[in-house]
Structure 1
Amino acid sequence: MKKLLNVVRGLMLAITHIKVFPQDRFRGKRIAIVGPASSAFKTGNGAYIDGFDIVVRVNKSALTVDAGKHAADIGERTDVLFHCFLENMHSGGGKLDFDMYSRQGIQAVINPRYEWTGLRNSFNFYKKYLMPQRTYVLSRKLYKDIGRSLGQYRPTTGYSALCALLESDFSELYITGFTFFKTAYGDGYRDDMQQAQQARDFMISVGLHNPDKEYEEFKKRLARHAGKDVRMDAELRAIMSTQ
């Protein structure tokens, strides 16, 4: 009976507390998105990142920030967190810790996946914690647009975040820590994968994502938005310039 009651409570919380993220919150803003790849580390760019109007991170990056060991490189601020709402530490986004998010000043936690399995993950969060916490999804139209060109593959959380930002009306977008699994993860994210091939093998083994396809499609998306002020770290610039 208690289990059934929690299902009902969780469903009601999900219905009343999951909202579509308003893309206009990015309008006119200088935005930095910081991924977990090694290219964001050993850069000394922490203060530069924290100087943006909005700092966006993905999945377990909030845990890396909370550890405080790499603030000089990746900064200390997080305003928006894209999270897959799977709490597995190895293959998911880590624990959904809203007390930690509050300490960090995170204003919005977004599960980008506006489709059945993604919404189910958000529902499972409410069922588990019974917490009246506002969370977000991308609009159905935007999420379908992000995933359409990937065919049978599901967009990664990081790719979804990159595309959602690129489709917004920002004034400047700085991208760091994204290499489409062509480099290793940075320290403190998945420390059992310190080689680029390990990161690629892991992502491919999951079977849901295709980092090479995401790379090719993101290049096309960037080309369609060539008039926007998009800046990238040196490693990503080099990767995007290859044929």
Structure 2
Amino acid sequence: MLKNKSYITWLIKRSYWRFRLELISGRDDLPRSLFKNKRIIIIGPASEVELDAKGKDIDDYDIIIRMNAGVKHATELSGALGNRTDFLFHNFKMEGERAAGVLNNKILNEHKVKKIIYPTLTAATLKDYLQKRESLKRTIQEVEVAFLPPSSYRRICRKFTPYSPTIGSIIIDFVLSTDFKELCIIGMSLFRTGYDQHYNNKAPDVSSTRKWTEAGGVHNPDFDFAITSRALREAIDDERNIVLGRGLSEALGVPFKGISTVEMSRHDESSSF
């Protein structure tokens, strides 16, 4: 009897939070329409990010996306990675050894952050999200707090079962689902290189980066590589305007301009005798 009552209580709570999620979905989430015909750059924390950024006018992009401690990272590099942030994808974890970066008025305003995006909203995480959002609203001003559409997160999670996608893969998956004009991705290698020392000095090489990512059993770097690299290759083969940094180009086996190996092989065949 007690067991049945506990199950019914759990079922009611789950149904309640699913209902709450439906109520706010489409209201406070990140609309794909914002990306239509825009030049977008995603800046990650991999060791080659400064090299990738050389020669690029990052601030000239319509939308600049960073993740977790990316704003602090850019600030410490004194403009080498651009001087503003339009969308900061952040998991709201601001304390502990694996904190994702502090969110406060000083750092957000200095980097002209427009929106903070919570990337992993589900019925199970909604209560925590709402509490932390209210806390943030009391400490930051002039910065919107929104979330990735839950349907987008559910879609990519199905691909990653039994693991969860990392924030980098979540961002790439979402942007690929929009009608962008150009997508540039720098400072990402899908765990084929280490972190930039200014972002995470505890994981400077591939081995330590994998261990850092796998800690807790939530993420699997091989899943991120296989699933996200496949999505990028398909987008490049569909002739979408995608430019990749060195680490990601090498990981995927495509030239820096984003021409796929399929296109290269076709070119080689047509020019051979």
How far apart are residue 36 of structure 1 and its match?
A: 0.4
Tell me what 1:6 maps to.
Answer: none
Change (3 A) 1:115 1:125: same
Q: Check conservation: 1:86, 1:121, Cα contact below 8 A.
A: no
Aligned residue pairs: how many? Answer: 227
Aligned-partner SS, 2:215: helix
Does residue 225 of structure 2 align to residue 195 of structure 1? Answer: no
How far apart are residue 127 of structure 1 and its match?
A: 5.0
Does residue 92 of structure 2 align to residue 85 of structure 1? Answer: yes
Matches within 5 A, 1:131-170: 131=138, 134-170=144-180
In 1, distance between residues paired with 2:230 and 2:191? 18
In 1, distance between residues paired with 2:212 and 2:109? 31
Tell me what 1:7 maps to.
Answer: none
Question: Which segments of 5 or more consecutive residues in structure 2 lack a partner in the other structure?
Answer: 1-19, 255-260, 262-273
Does residue 28 of structure 2 align to residue 54 of structure 1? Answer: no
Identity of aligned residues (%): 26
CA distances 1:116-173 after superposition (whole Å, capped 9, x unpaired): 3443442232354552863111112111112111012112111111111111111000
Question: Which segments of 5 or more consecutive residues in structure 1 lack a partner in the other structure?
Answer: 1-10
Q: Check conservation: 2:53, 2:186, Cα contact below 8 A.
A: no
Tell me what 2:79 maps to.
Answer: 71
CA distances 1:44-84 after superposition (whole Å, capped 9, x unpaired): 527522221111100001111222x2523x22221111111
Does residue 49 of structure 2 align to residue 37 of structure 1? Answer: no
Q: Check conservation: 2:39, 2:61, Cα contact below 8 A.
A: yes
Change (3 A) 1:127 1:55: closer
Q: Check conservation: 2:89, 2:119, Cα contact below 8 A.
A: yes
Q: Check conservation: 1:45, 1:75, Cα contact below 8 A.
A: no
In 2, distance between residues paired with 1:56 and 1:46? 18
TM-score using structure 1 length = 0.84
Tell me what 2:248 maps to.
Answer: 236
In 2, distance between residues paired with 1:145 and 1:80? 21
Aligned residue identity for 1:219:
S
Moved more, 183-192 or 91-100: 91-100
Moved more, 207-216 or 41-50: 41-50
Does residue 221 of structure 2 align to residue 214 of structure 1? Answer: no
In 1, distance between residues paired with 2:128 and 2:101? 13
TM-score using structure 2 length = 0.75
Tell me what 1:182 maps to.
Answer: 192
In 2, distance between residues paired with 1:102 and 1:46? 26
Tell me what 1:96 maps to.
Answer: 103
In 1, distance between residues paired with 2:96 and 2:69? 8
Aligned-partner SS, 2:91: coil
In 1, distance between residues paired with 2:120 and 2:53? 33
Tell me what 1:113 maps to.
Answer: 120
Does residue 164 of structure 2 align to residue 172 of structure 1? Answer: no
Does residue 128 of structure 2 align to residue 125 of structure 1? Answer: no
Aligned-partner SS, 1:50: helix
How far apart are residue 26 of structure 1 and its match?
A: 0.7
Aligned residue identity for 2:91:
C
Question: Of the two structures, which has the highest relative contact order with CA contacts closer than 8 Å and spacing of 6 or more?
Answer: 1
Aligned-partner SS, 2:185: strand
Tell me what 2:3 maps to.
Answer: none
